[in-house]
Structure 1
Amino acid sequence: MNIGQKVLFELKKEISEVEYERYIKNLIYDTRRSRSNIVYFNAPNMIIAKWIKSKYTDKLMHLFELQNEIKPEIEITVGKQNKQSAGPVVHHSEKSHSKSTYLNPSLTFESFIVGNSNQFAYTTAKSVAEKPGKQYNPLFLYGGVGLGKTHLLQAIGNYHIDLGKTVIYTTLEQFMNSFTSHLRSQTMDRFRDKFRECDLLLIDDIQFLSRKEQTQEEFFHTFNELYNNNKQIVITSDRQPNKIAGLVDRLRTRFEMGLMADIQPPGLETKIAIIQKKCELDGISLDHEIVNYIATHMGDNIREIEGTIIKLNALSSMLNQEITLDFTQNAIKDQLKEKKENITIDEIVKIISKELNIKPSDMKSKKRTKNIVNARRIAIYLARNLTPNSMPQIAVYFGMKDHTAISHAMKKINEIIDNDENFKVILEELSNKVNTHTQNDTL
């Protein structure tokens, strides 16, 4: 597999299957003409060429940079590869020669949506960007998958690129691969020059340093060299340093001696704001009901949510259909089905009992006080919508006579939703908490 094929394979992971099959799959990498600083792709027609130019040129440049540390120009020719009459579609990168690696220019502080769940991490990251190498060194950001750690990490890097600083952003896996490669080729001086002479070192997914003794030794000395020269170090992980198994104490204590900031799963309001921002940036129009549906049902992985929006837009364009609630529900039903399989009624009851201060046993009892009836109805509604259980199965769980009791409860709660906006908001928040809790448990 050549580098062009590798890049298209990586791009496939980040976009909808529909867009890949319709557009990207048609690209052919020209190995003969491509060089490290300029690559050529061949497209079957101008429509596909223009679409890729407008949507994916920056992403392609970024993915090539991940492969060989050079951000190339992208040329997309139309027709046969040797046909000179078809003019190329070219996108020139203004940052082709910038002192950085791997940075995605769209990941900035301005494009990051701030909410209660990430306010502290955002504030500290911005402070580090404005005053690097000072009081928050290193900055250690940790949290679950898709919550914005990489966004903040690269936002810091992009802030300093604009100031002309030398920034190194790398995943821990890329750091290890580079270390191994230079070790084998006996060029460790070049490796150390690269990582120890930058102004900022940004390391993503440091948890993969676990039990890598030789790499830990090298990273320890790199860390010390940068720290002693007041160079800023920012690290991300999916867990706190003391929970990274196989991490030597001298690295763990260094990770903990700066500032640690966690990013929690976003609340419903933050997810809605993120979806609205994504739609604004991509020129996609979704009404409030659809935005709420996606925010409520798609869990808390922001990358997954953004991928869903891209998928909806692509399907709408291909099928020439308006994005309605029915269209949205049908488009993402397979994703939701997979999520439902991971949610149990026990988890729903546990979360509702905690949030509404009701004993779990009361929801399954015959008690008819107003607050218990309300909690029971919510539990039934979420069990029906968020799990694969049938109405007879839910009836058995709650000790009801048969499925007609569940049907009646569903009808009643739908009436309340139609007439009580405040209740609808509470229901959406509880649904969001259930989805978030279940997703975290599967990480």
Structure 2
Amino acid sequence: MEARAMTPIHSDREEWDRIKLRLRVELGEDAFTSWFTRVEFESRDGSCVFLSVPTRFLKNWLHSRYRDRLLVLFREAFGPIDQIEFAVRSAMRPVVAPRDVVTPLPTAPTRAAALQTPVVRVVAASTRHDDREEDVLAGSPLDPRYGFDGFVEGRSNSLAFAAARRVADARPGESVGFNPLYIHAAVGLGKTHLLQAVAHAAKAQGRRVLYLTAEHFMYRFVAALMAQSAIAFKEALRGIDLLLIDDMQFLQGRQVQQEFCHTLNSLIDGARQVVVAADRPPADLETLDERVRSRLAGGLLVEIAAPDVDLRRRIVGHRVEVARRASPSLEISAAVIDYVAENVVSSGRDLDGAVNRLVAHNQLTGQDISVEMAELALRDLLRTREPRKVKIEDIQRVVSKHFNVSKADLLSARRTRTVVRPRQIAMYLAKALTPRSLPEIGRRFGNRDHTTVLHAVRKIEEMAGADRGFADEIEMLKRLLDG
């Protein structure tokens, strides 16, 4: 007798949920929410998986960029999967003509069959231009979580936040005093979040808003040229109230740039607002036409700087609260939040990725989220500090000599003021100038707990902020060690 295939323990949709969790961890929060939050699992038929998406652009993007990775993940979950079919959900629903023309629905169709069966769209000729315009104004996908309420404000981004709020709160045709608004920052510092927050707020006021990535703009323009509908594309673009272009550094092609420049001029001259984001100021975008750079530089240029430790701590705390709302049983201590904020220093996106990774490790392995677990799970995110070559032994030697105490005193249990303060300074310098974690620093200072090191770091930061002379002394020690 042949052995019958075992019934899967998990349903197809549960496996799809697991695949999405892996994609979230692999790609990071921004990429995942941009491309996968609106992807729906429809069915599986033999060696083919059927997925649906809301737009043709998203269908083409996923097929060209992520199809191979999805195939690998589906094969791990389901076995021999040879094909992934993407369908546009809007195309799955027949459109009824204004007159008595109705496309009969099949009786009791399966979802897989519906996806494979061509759908005939019956649309009145007078509505075709409106459909093309609405398709243009659909824009790039917006993440519903990217609102102003979810943006954590600090010293490094306060000006960009205030300018974005001013644009979002303006009424149609109202001048905000700067146009265009140009926000530039390194990767992962909140440009996309701010642009999408503006889009959400302006749409809520009834304004005609278009949010596009530069790649999406190029794709739409080239598609319009191929479909001989470029005029309708231009008219739709110039009829909006607010245009937001993200990742401007990727805008390429002479004809595309010329069209963008014409659109930019038309909107600004017509008192319509434009907001642009890029990873560097206009003058540094060498691939852009000089006229485009000049027009972009004529508005308000705002830079978002890297977050300081206080902002990083608040960003991590906010992300943890969001994760707790999704998983109420999740437990992440203040010590872990402090560890992530102190050690992941490159960008807010890396902070998001760190929290996502800790949550995924907890959910997939059942391991409690501790500082030790975070130290192992996030070790690749901590490499941004590795170029610093200062050693803890060097710090102990310099501090001992400067304060006339022995290295043995720094490692001892003595708690006199003449020893405690140099020890705290040495711990602070070890945290600031080396890639070592709090637990490792504690072990190198007489097997102390990581909370002792964290207290020392905060104490020295507080004293340096209140006493200029003390801050200068700390900077002098840093120069000695860097030299």
TM-score, reference length from structure 1: 0.65
**What is the deviation of 1:139?**
0.6
**2: CA distance, partners of 1:203 / 1:19:** 21
Look up the SS of the partner of 1:110 in the other structure: helix
- Kindly state the Cα deviation for residue 208 of structure 1 after the two structures are TM-superposed: 2.1
Q: CA deviation at 1:111?
A: 0.7
For 1:202 and 1:18, the matched residues in 2 are separated by 24
State whether residues 427 and 457 of structure 2, in contact with CA within 8 Å, keep that contact through their aligned partners in structure 1: no
Give the stretch that moved more between structures: 261-270 or 374-383: 374-383
Q: For the structure 1 residues 177 and 289, does the alpha-carbon distance in structure 2 shift closer, same or farther, using more than 3 Å as the test?
A: same
In the alignment, which residue of structure 2 is the partner of 1:228? 269
Contact 1:378 1:413 in 2 (8 A): no
1:154 to 1:361, Cα distance in 2 relative to 1, 3 A = same
Superposed, 1:320-331 pairs within 5 Å as: 320-331=366-377
Match of 2:238 in 1: 196
Deviates more, 1:228-237 or 1:292-301: 292-301
Q: Which residue of 2 aligns with 1:42?
A: 43
* 1:16 maps onto 2:57 in alignment: no
Contact 2:180 2:273 in 1 (8 A): yes
Corresponding residue SS for 2:277: strand
Is 1:363–1:373's contact at 8 Å kept on the other side of the alignment?
A: no
Q: Do the aligned partners of residues 61 and 83 (structure 1) sit closer, same or farther apart at CA in structure 2, a change above 3 Å counting?
A: closer
Structure 2 match to 1:168: 210
How far off is 1:196 after superposition? 1.7
Alignment-derived partner of residue 348 in structure 2: 302
**Cα distance change on mapping 1:313 and 1:260 into 2, 3 Å:** same
| C-alpha contact 2:388 2:434 (8 A) present in aligned 1 | no
Report deviation, 1:172.
Answer: 0.7
Question: Which is greater in Rg?
Answer: 2
CA distance in 2, matches of 1:243, 1:18: 28
Distance 1:324 1:97, change over 3 A: farther
Q: Structure 1, residues 154-174: CA drift from partner, whole Å, max 9, x if none? A: 000000121222211111111
Alignment partner, residue 408 of structure 2: none
> Residues 426 and 241 from structure 1, CA distance in 2 versus in 1: closer, same or farther, beyond 3 angstroms?
farther
Aligned pairs (5 A) from 1:62-101: 66-67=58-59, 72=89, 100-101=138-139
- Are the aligned partners of 2:248 and 2:276 in contact in 1 as well (CA < 8 Å)? yes
- Give RMSD over aligned pairs: 4.6
- The alpha-carbon deviation at position 220 of structure 1 amounts to 0.8
**Contact 1:161 1:167 (8 Å CA) reproduced:** yes
Aligned partner letter, 1:344? R
**Cα distance, 1:422 vs structure 2:** 5.4
For each residue in 1:391-419, what CA deviation from the matched residue of structure 2 results, as whole angstroms up to 9, or x when unmatched? Answer: 9xxxxxxxxxxxxxxx9993169589728
- What is the CA deviation profile of residues 204-244 of structure 1, one whole-angstrom value per residue up to 9, with x for unaligned ones? 0112236x322221111011111122111000011111111
Moved more, 236-245 or 273-282: 273-282
Give the superposition deviation at 1:375.
6.0
Residue 344 of structure 1, aligned match among 379, 388, 392 = 388
The residue that corresponds to 1:280 in the other structure is 321
- Which moves more between the two structures, 98-107 or 420-429? 420-429
8 Å contact from structure 2 (residues 178, 299) kept in 1: yes
Distance change in 2, residues 1:165/1:97 (3 Å): farther
Query: Residues 298-335 of structure 1, C-alpha deviation per residue, up to 9 Å, x if partnerless?
Result: 22322222122122222212222322222222222344
Aligned to 1:16, the other structure's residue is in SS state helix
Distance change (3 Å), C-alpha of 1:14 and 1:191: farther
Q: Secondary structure at the match of 2:43?
A: strand
- Alignment partners' CA distance in 1, 2:350 and 2:463: 19
C-alpha separation in 2, matches of 1:64 and 1:328:
40
Q: State the partner residue of 1:265.
A: 306
1:99–1:165: 8 Å Cα contact kept in structure 2? no
Aligned to 1:88: none
Within 1, Cα distance between the matches of 2:192 and 2:373?
A: 32
In 1, the alpha carbon distance for the partners of 2:165 and 2:23 equals: 27
* Distance in structure 2 (CA, Å) of the matches to 1:428 and 1:161: 43
In structure 1, the residue matched to 2:147 is 108
Indicate the percent of aligned positions where both proteins have the same amino acid: 25
What is the SS of the residue equivalent to 2:402?
coil
Give me the whole-angstrom Cα distance separating, in 2, the residues matched to 1:121 and 1:19: 24
Contact 1:142–1:261 (Cα < 8 Å) also in 2: yes
Give matches, 1:306-385, under 5 Å: 306-336=352-382, 338-339=383-384, 342-345=386-389, 367-369=401-403, 378-380=428-430, 385=435
**Equivalent of 2:180 in 138, 149, 152:** 138
The answer to whether the aligner puts 1:218 opposite 2:259 as a matched pair is yes
- Matched with 2:101 is none
2:33 corresponds to: none
Letter in structure 2 aligned against 1:320: G
Which of 455, 461, 464 is the aligned partner of 1:421? 455
TM-score (ref. length: structure 2): 0.60
How many residue pairs end up in the alignment?
347
- Once the two structures are superposed, residues 238-274 of structure 1 have per-residue CA deviations (whole angstroms, 9 ceiling, x without a partner) of 1111111133332222112221111111111111111
Contact kept, 8 Å, 1:172 with 1:208, in 2: the verdict is yes
Partner of 1:441 in structure 2? none
Q: Which runs of 5+ in 2 are unaligned?
A: 1-15, 30-35, 46-50, 62-86, 93-109, 115-133, 325-329, 405-420, 465-483
Equivalent residue letter for 1:127? R
Asked if 1:129 is matched to 2:168, the reply is yes
Post-superposition offset of 1:191: 2.0
- Partner amino acid, structure 2, of 1:126: R
CA contact (8 A) 1:137 1:258 kept: yes
What's 2:294 paired with? 253
Which runs of structure 1 show a deviation greater than 4 angstroms over 4 or more consecutive aligned residues?
Answer: 10-14, 17-20, 37-40, 60-65, 67-75, 80-84, 96-100, 360-367, 370-384, 412-417, 425-430
Aligned partner of 1:131: which letter? A
Q: Contact 2:247–2:278 at 8 Å: present in 1 too?
A: yes
Q: Give the Cα–Cα distance (whole angstroms) in 2 for the partners of residues 277 and 155 of structure 1.
A: 17
Aligned residue type for 1:312: L
Asked if residue 147 in structure 1 is aligned to residue 189 in structure 2, the reply is yes
What do residues 70-110 of structure 1 show as CA deviations (whole Å, max 9, x unaligned)?
Answer: 984899xxxx97699xxxxxxxxxxx999642222211111
Call closer, same or farther: CA 1:82–1:130 in 2, change over 3 Å.
Answer: closer
Structure possessing the higher relative contact order (Cα contacts under 8 Å, 6 or more residues apart) = 1
Matched to 2:387, the amino acid is: I
